[in-house]
Structure 1
Amino acid sequence: MQIRVVRPDELGASDLESWRGFQGTGATAHPFLAPEFVLAVGRVRPQLRVAVLEESVGTVGFFPFERGPWGYGTPPAPGLTDAHGLVHAPDVEWDPQQLLRACGLSVWEFDHLVDGQKPFERFQALRVPSPVMDLSGGYAAFRAHVRSRSKSFLSELERKRRALGRDHGTVTFTLGTADPDGLRRIMDWKSQQYQRTGRSDRFRVPWIRELLESLLDTRTESFAGTLSVLRAGDTPVAGHFGLRSGSSLAGWFPAFDMEFRHYSPGLLHHLMLAEHAAADGILEIDMGRGAKGYKDCFRSRDLVVAEGRIVRRGPSAALHWARREPVRRLRNRVLDDPRLYAAADRVLKRAASVRTRVVPGAVRS
């Protein structure tokens, strides 16, 4: 096998066609592994590269990665994406150590490795569920599944939907709008949520905002940045920006206007998203790993993603392990245990509240 490393914008039309063909309908069909996403990240992250794997029959795989100091490697847009891996032709095997050498990496760390990456399996340290809204049977079947888990949950949501319409105007939903103002509104709502809950505000990072704006304008036959909006009358009350690839939608940034919080607009949005997505041919919505309660309300089944690292022997890899491993273990313990997640969430919110009192205006409600 030969491996060449290129910038995303150096990939030719035939490369992109092969990449899309390799994605197929399996785990690597995920929107975060689509070439359109990698190209968009490459425009705002100059350290992004793609390893192109070639055999005598031609190109057999694509491995997108970012290379940082000391040869530390990550998937594209680390910390933002919910699917990692190598997109390849069927039955292809590769040597992870050869791959890292060709990429100039001493370590490649992943936390959302998709299933089916056999050469990477021995490097997995943890496998965790990523909840999915399964729409393959249509919206009626999905709704029946949600009702079977909690009849009162859907009844309460419908009551709140009627109250929202009565108090603020007819409730409507739009899927697939290309409205830049709508995207900025969602980013602003999400920023306010990050600040209220004591999280780091991702949208203070210019390249992240630029990436989402670029993806909103990205449309191909198989891929699209997908914006949805829930309105009461003419007023947007909730929304979501995600990525669609074929019949799969990756949940990414859901947000809502806190002024309407008593109507549970975020939950209403997810329910109506399922209805409109199913009607538009979407078969599944990946909500991403994590112990957030709203995901349990809509979960149909789980994908499985893995966390771990591939390491080449050397001082850089040893230094990376010593710095990252204790933090990684603690973070995973919190993320994947609902009780610990809830406790950590309370602490962060309390800290954000204190900052607001000490520095007025530091957190917008």
Structure 2
Amino acid sequence: MDISVYRPGELSAADRAAWTAMQSKAHLHGAEELGNPFLSPEFTLAVGRCRRGVRIAVVREDGEPAAFFPFQRSATGVGRAVGLGVSDCQGLVHRPGFTWDARELLRACSLAVWEFDHLVTGQEPFEAGASGSFPSPVMDVDQGYDTYVRELRARSPKFTRTTLAKERRLGRDTGPVRYVHDERDPAALRRLMAWKSAQYRRTGRSDRFAHEWITHLVTQLFHTRSDSFAGILSVLYADGRPVAAHFGLRSERVLACWFPAYDPAFAKFSPGLILHLRMAEAAAADGIAYLDLGRGQKEYKDSLKTRELSVCEGWVTRRHPVAVGHRARRAPVRALRNAVLSRPELFEPADRILKRMGQIRSRR
């Protein structure tokens, strides 16, 4: 393999165009997951402006780009997927039929190990190092919103009827309901981040927006727009007041759901569910094929999904002491977390404890 490694600012316009073209055609070759916006050059470049060590390996065949591998690298050679911890889709973007040797790629990138937690399917050289596979629910709207709702009614009639009734009641009780699919007001984004931070604290979870780089990344992506990529802020208003919002990323065919939140004062109306249905309707009108709800078992995802994709977590390693040490340190933590998440008898008590801690923290 002819492999060159670049800093984000060194990537040529021609290489960026080739990367985008591979994504836009991926669904034609049975690799729809490669069209995810988290795998786009725009996302990698944005992370590169917020975090150190972001690099892009370009693999060429006969002088032409055949694959793009974005990663983050530490001084000791520990590699991670770009945006690990906030990225919901990871892997190597490549043209049809391309194959690669994972260890050879790591060697060319000066990596002892590469860690991932949302690896897309079809990446066999990396999947050999996977320690687990997890569902990532999606909402298919490629046949139009009416078709999606008709199938939703057939599959979950009570859920559909109740959610649509709550939207009507929201309008009756508070005032006219209005939906903006692509809200450009930065104040609305700040409100969403405040809601989300409060939700993290309330439920005892780590507040992602307490990390300055994540706030900077989201703000930057909010202002990033092209024909093939955009940060999309969607807001549901009732009587002119925002009651729910979502920020995600859009590619040509995929809307990746990322940060949803709502005003707890309107919780009885399930504004988050209403928002997702409105998002699906607008996405279908924009030519989006599906909304990716992201890895994680949650009741609202089970209610809205039409099917599931699969993502993997794990490590690809070379024979190197840094790789051994990194895996030894990280593997027990991941194993414990996944054991708790996958077993209701462990998850439910742990969730109650986290929420109780969140309530105490919120009172301070």
**What are the superposed Cα offsets for residues 300-342 of structure 1, whole Å, 9 maximum, x if unpaired?**
0011111121111122111112111111112122334556444
SS in 1 for 2:349: helix
Supply the AA of the counterpart residue of 1:230: L
**Match among 40, 60, 63 for residue 46 of structure 2:** 40
CA contact (8 A) 1:291 1:338 kept: no
Structure 1 position 223, deviation (Å): 0.7
C-alpha distance in structure 2 between counterparts of 1:58 and 1:282, whole Å = 29
Are the structure 2 counterparts of residues 341 and 280 from structure 1 closer, same or farther at C-alpha, using a change threshold of 3 Å?
A: farther
Unmatched segments (≥5 aa) in structure 2:
none
SS in 2 for 1:66: strand
> For residues 125-204 of structure 1, what are the structure 2 equivalents within 5 Å?
125-204=131-210
- CA-based RMSD: 1.4
CA contact (8 A) 1:168 1:232 kept: yes
C-alpha distance in structure 2 between counterparts of 1:315 and 1:123, whole Å = 17
- Higher mean C-alpha deviation, range 262-271 or range 114-123: 114-123
1:216 aligns with 2:222: yes
Tell me the residue number matched to 2:284: 278
Structure 1 position 79, deviation (Å): 0.5
CA contact (8 A) 1:131 1:302 kept: yes
Are the structure 2 counterparts of residues 44 and 352 from structure 1 closer, same or farther at C-alpha, using a change threshold of 3 Å?
A: same
**Match among 222, 242, 247 for residue 241 of structure 1:** 247
CA contact (8 A) 2:113 2:318 kept: yes
C-alpha distance in structure 2 between counterparts of 1:211 and 1:338, whole Å = 34
- Higher mean C-alpha deviation, range 327-336 or range 250-259: 327-336
How many equivalent pairs are there? 358
C-alpha distance in structure 2 between counterparts of 1:288 and 1:332, whole Å = 16
Structure 1 position 69, deviation (Å): 4.7
The alignment-based identity, stated in percent, is 52
C-alpha distance in structure 1 between counterparts of 2:347 and 2:231, whole Å = 30
**Match among 35, 42, 64 for residue 29 of structure 1:** 35
Divergent runs of 4+, >6 A: none
CA contact (8 A) 2:201 2:361 kept: no
Structure 1 length normalisation: TM-score?
A: 0.94
C-alpha distance in structure 2 between counterparts of 1:67 and 1:237, whole Å = 40
**What are the superposed Cα offsets for residues 8-35 of structure 1, whole Å, 9 maximum, x if unpaired?**
1111110001101121222211110011
Structure 1 position 59, deviation (Å): 1.8
Tell me the residue number matched to 2:270: 264
Structure 1 position 272, deviation (Å): 1.4
C-alpha distance in structure 2 between counterparts of 1:324 and 1:145, whole Å = 42
Structure 1 position 173, deviation (Å): 0.7
Supply the AA of the counterpart residue of 2:352: R
Supply the AA of the counterpart residue of 1:38: T
Are the structure 2 counterparts of residues 342 and 249 from structure 1 closer, same or farther at C-alpha, using a change threshold of 3 Å?
A: farther
Tell me the residue number matched to 2:97: 91
C-alpha distance in structure 1 between counterparts of 2:20 and 2:346, whole Å = 40
SS in 2 for 1:176: coil
> For residues 334-345 of structure 1, what are the structure 2 equivalents within 5 Å?
334-337=340-343, 340-345=346-351
CA contact (8 A) 1:292 1:338 kept: no
Tell me the residue number matched to 1:326: 332
CA contact (8 A) 2:35 2:253 kept: no
Structure 1 position 345, deviation (Å): 2.0
Supply the AA of the counterpart residue of 2:216: E
C-alpha distance in structure 1 between counterparts of 2:12 and 2:212, whole Å = 28
